[in-house]
Amino acid sequence: MVMNSAPTISTPASTNIFNLGKYPTDFIKIESKIFSFSSNVPLFSPPKPLLVCSPTETGEFPVLVLLHGYLLYNSFYSQLIQHIASHGFIVVAPQLYIVAGRDSHEEIETTAKVINWLPEGLVHFLPPQVNPNLKKLGLAGHSRGGKVAFGLALRKLNLTTLDISAIIGIDPVDGMDKGRQTPPPVLTNTPHSFDLGGSGALVIGSGLGEIKRNPLFPPCAPKGVNHEDFYNECRKPAYYFVAKDQGHLDMLDDDTRGIRGKATFCFCKNGKSREPMRRFVGGVVVAFLKGYVEGDMRELVGLREGHEMLPVELQRFEYRV
């Protein structure tokens, strides 16, 4: 049911959001089983398999649910997940599906089920000295997972009663069918139309995402359904960063194995290295969570005023508060 990975190697404490933070972390894999009272099946099984990264020091920590991109594995985000967790967050990454079609209705509903499971289930798999604070909850998603995160946030009252303080789209895409939206459509083509109930919104884009890698495949984040459109439809408070010369999958692990892992280097236009984009995404997500989940705006203000040295060059930066 639960499998702890080998102990994570920690670096010295850092105050730089673009480096690993001060908290030692560990990964926990939680398998999904059919609910049962039998001794062989734990009572608190989640609706989907989860990859969790948690601080191991005593404390109460906010929670971030992170949704993977189209046909990707949650394990491909391990380095990004660890980066965020090391700054004092419990990161929960469900494996929403292995194979999926065009329609993402089911992913939205499944994500809601995972979130609804957290209050009763999560604490049973964390280190005994670690407690999740679900009054401080963020929801993030990459690519199609970004669409799912926004889709759930826009329908939250119908699916979950937990308050979501921060919505994060990491190079979100509302459709991969020849650049068109796929069901259910999230984008409305109307500026500031997203009613997120007052939650803060962060959109991170890749400068190379809308460029084809080769003539055989469409761009991974086509113009018209990508990060720019998501930001344009967010109401304030909203932040928007676009990393120049970085690709749609550059926030993944350096080593993504298997056929799907190797394919992540083939289908999208990539930057020279994944590490700068991954550090950038991790740091900006940490700053945003500290601001809109924990109420500490210092890191965000530092980004806003240019006090932080960034690991990437920005193509665009905007915010509305």
Catalytic annotation, pick one of 45, 75, 143, 206: 143
For the segment 50-70, what is each residue's pLDDT rounded down to a tens digit? 999 999 999 999 999 999 999
pLDDT the model gives residue 209: 97
Domain range for 27 is: 2-320
pLDDT, residue 291, reads: 97
Active site residue 143: yes
Where is pLDDT greater, at 231 or 40?
Answer: 231
Q: Rounded distance, CA 92 to CA 118, Å? A: 9
Which is nearest to 132 in space by CA: 117, 110, 142, 145?
A: 117
Give how many domains the chain has, as a whole number: 1
In the predicted structure, residue 305 carries a pLDDT above the cut 80 = yes
pLDDT for res 137: 98
**pLDDT-based confidence at residue 114 (cuts at 50, 70, 90):** very high
Catalytic (active site) residue 171? yes
- Torsion over CA of 17, 221, 159 and 287, rounded to 10 degrees? 10
pLDDT value at residue 203: 98
> DSSP E strands: which ranges in 123-273?
130-142, 166-170, 200-206, 238-243
Provide Rg for the chain, Cα atoms.
Answer: 18
pLDDT, tens digit (0-9, with 9 covering 90-100), for 90-101: 999 999 999 888
pTM: 0.92
What integer best gives the mean pLDDT of the chain?
91
- Residue 83 is among the residues annotated as catalytic for this protein: no
Pairing assessment for the beta strands 200-206 and 238-243 based on DSSP bridges: parallel
pLDDT at 156 exceeding the cut of 80: no
Would you say the C-alpha torsion 238, 104, 262, 221 has a positive or negative sign? negative
pLDDT in tens, 5-37: 333 333 333 469 999 999 999 999 999 975 555
Spell out the SS3 assignment of 48-81.
CCEEEEEECCCEEEEEEEEECCCCCCHHHHHHHH
pLDDT value of residue 314: 97
Provide the 8-state DSSP code for 13. Answer: P
CB–CB of 87/58 below 8 Å? no
Sequence-separated (6 or more) residues with CB below 8 Å from residue 70:
100, 143, 144, 145, 173, 176
Spatial CA neighbour of 158 closest among 202, 197, 205, 102:
197
Find which of 159-163, 213-217, 296-300 is predicted with most confidence, using mean pLDDT. Answer: 296-300
171, 174, 250, 253: which one is catalytic?
Answer: 171
What CATH number has the domain bearing residue 123? 3.40.50.1820
pLDDT band at 216 (very low <50, low <70, confident <90, very high): confident
237: cis peptide before it, omega within 30°?
A: yes
- State the greatest distance between any 2 C-alpha atoms of the chain, in Å, as a whole number: 57
Q: Name the more confident of 206 and 214.
A: 206
Region 301-319: mean pLDDT is: 93
